[in-house]
Structure 1
């Protein structure tokens, strides 16, 4: 594309282009990747330094890729591109970009904005609190998976309870979809209903803090982890002896994953010491993402079991 047709993009860089970086790119003899251009406006989304290098070298043409979407979406693409390759955005650039995204996309979750800007979700949450004076107060947020979830957990639990009452045999995924809640919330609400308990009671009320527990209870709680670890190890040993898992490649892979996580629990102090402070937000976010993957896997396993027809031997045993 002819360079004269292009326009300066809405750059997330507070201080603009880095002239030294442009000169370094101009000295590169190999072909640089194509720049990203917003087709509707012909503004450069990603690649202003490459464009500057082409101009410095006297070129009239440059390779481009086109971006389809709104101006707001183009800015998101620009921020994410500049946190993954090329000259990285400074911390100040990323924080300013996060504030702008919070303003233009108030329904985006902290974790989604963190993934775009390269910040931690905790940092984004702090920036959001600073910007709430000018931002609309919403009852839902859109997560990284594109699903909208309520900020008020009680409202989500109430909707899930209504969906279950209307369709008791619905799958967990169907309940979660209709109630706009996570699969984990749908599972928790259904379990409480089956036990005859109040579905509105959040799980957090069942996890009292150490400060609210009697001293004797705290002492007993400190003794439980060792017993829980022992129980998990015994279960794992039992699974390792099961031929249906041990004799299949996928089963052995699953056993190795479970074994590594059980062993990591004993190594927790050493693993904590191994995390440098500047990487702590990234490691913490990755740990939370891994935990979410395991939770989703657990729900999938339970849902698959519930969707399977009852084993003939069990039903016949009840008739005899």
Structure 2
């Protein structure tokens, strides 16, 4: 349920009609936060109320402050719809402003949302509760939920949980056009960019694109810096062209952070032959140590990419 709460009309409601039993905040009101609201100047923002049940969706502390002051009414906005959707809205409201929900409350809320919205993807539940998609997946497993055949993502699209065929399709696209971005492949195939990243990583390691495919596709890994031996040089050239375009972008070239980013990208944009030269120059007694550093840096870059792609999605979806 997507609601523009600021577009809803403001009404005055009698306090005696309101209930807060469905609040995601299991610890109840925080006395210090209530005191802060009591000492605030000006009128407090309207609370949010689920009209069918008259339960407070957002504004538990404002309600308490009004009662302490001896008020008999409070300004509010009404929302309609299912009670389970109202709970989701309550969680979203309480993690984005005011006194944030505790981690324990957010996890409990995620468990409840998994139960009422089993068709939602881990990322969509994570977005509503302010925890990671991995934590949601763990909570789903602990609850014995093997998942539906398909789930609804944050963008509203329905995606299959068992995506073996789509993984194979993604692998074919990556092989035929390695210059495609994660999001371009994901959009064509109907899986998440993270799944495409996993498929690409499996191909680079010579593995099957599906998790259950134990058969290795090659006896040795691909040359460093290349997606396929016969097209690696084209990929190198394309990457260098993009890098030159980035260097010419004033948004990066004229800022300190931008220049740091450009230096980091330049350092990691060597062609495959240069990577091979460095590989053969590592002393044998340091293979394990350097490999550990390389994997750690790869995880850092992957996390950096995830954050950027998530921000791009948020901007695109408004």
Aligned partner of 1:286 among 302, 307, 314: 307
> Which residue of structure 1 lines up, in the alignment, with residue 161 of structure 2?
151
| Whole-angstrom CA distance in 1 between matches of 2:29 and 2:303 | 27
Query: What's the offset of the Cα at 1:86?
Result: 0.6
> Which residue of structure 2 lines up, in the alignment, with residue 193 of structure 1?
none
**Does the residue aligned with 2:223 lie in a helix, a strand or coil?**
helix
Aligned partner of 1:139 among 149, 152, 163: 149
| Whole-angstrom CA distance in 2 between matches of 1:124 and 1:137 | 12
What stretches of structure 2 of length at least 5 have no aligned partner? 1-12, 171-184, 192-198, 208-213, 269-292
Q: Output one character per residue of 1:146-172: Cα deviation in whole Å (capped at 9) or x when no partner.
A: 111101113558999xxxxxxxxxxxx
> Which residue of structure 2 lines up, in the alignment, with residue 55 of structure 1?
67
> Which residue of structure 2 lines up, in the alignment, with residue 208 of structure 1?
205
> Which residue of structure 2 lines up, in the alignment, with residue 309 of structure 1?
none
Asked if the contact 1:233/1:262 (under 8 Å) is kept, the reply is no
> Which residue of structure 2 lines up, in the alignment, with residue 221 of structure 1?
223
Q: Output one character per residue of 1:115-140: Cα deviation in whole Å (capped at 9) or x when no partner.
A: 111111111112112112xx364110
**Does the residue aligned with 1:88 lie in a helix, a strand or coil?**
coil
What does 1:18-57 correspond to in 2, within 5 Å? 18-57=30-69
What does 1:1-320 correspond to in 2, within 5 Å? 1-132=13-144, 135=145, 137-154=147-164, 183-185=187-189, 206-208=203-205, 217-218=220-221, 221-222=223-224, 224=226, 231-232=237-238, 234-236=240-242, 265-266=265-266, 285-290=306-311
Query: What's the offset of the Cα at 1:36?
Result: 0.2
Number of residue pairs aligned between Structure 1 and Structure 2: 242
**Does the residue aligned with 2:224 lie in a helix, a strand or coil?**
helix
User: Residues 111 and 263 (structure 1 numbering): CA distance in 2 closer, same or farther, change over 3 Å?
Assistant: farther
**Does the residue aligned with 1:141 lie in a helix, a strand or coil?**
strand
Asked if the contact 2:243/2:266 (under 8 Å) is kept, the reply is no
User: Residues 70 and 183 (structure 1 numbering): CA distance in 2 closer, same or farther, change over 3 Å?
Assistant: same
- More moved, 119-128 vs 225-234: 225-234
User: Residues 110 and 120 (structure 1 numbering): CA distance in 2 closer, same or farther, change over 3 Å?
Assistant: same
> Which residue of structure 1 lines up, in the alignment, with residue 283 of structure 2?
none
Once superposed, what is the RMSD of the aligned Cα atoms?
A: 4.6
**Does the residue aligned with 2:74 lie in a helix, a strand or coil?**
coil
Query: What's the offset of the Cα at 1:24?
Result: 2.0
Query: What's the offset of the Cα at 1:104?
Result: 1.2
Query: What's the offset of the Cα at 1:284?
Result: 6.7
Instruction: Please report the TM-score for the alignment, with normalisation by the length of structure 2.
Output: 0.61
What stretches of structure 1 of length at least 5 have no aligned partner? 161-180, 188-201, 241-245, 297-320
Q: Which structure has greater helix proportion?
A: 1
| Whole-angstrom CA distance in 2 between matches of 1:3 and 1:252 | 56
Query: What's the offset of the Cα at 1:75?
Result: 0.4
**Does the residue aligned with 1:59 lie in a helix, a strand or coil?**
coil
**Does the residue aligned with 1:41 lie in a helix, a strand or coil?**
coil
Instruction: Please report the TM-score for the alignment, with normalisation by the length of structure 1.
Output: 0.60
User: Residues 203 and 238 (structure 1 numbering): CA distance in 2 closer, same or farther, change over 3 Å?
Assistant: closer
Asked if the contact 1:120/1:285 (under 8 Å) is kept, the reply is no
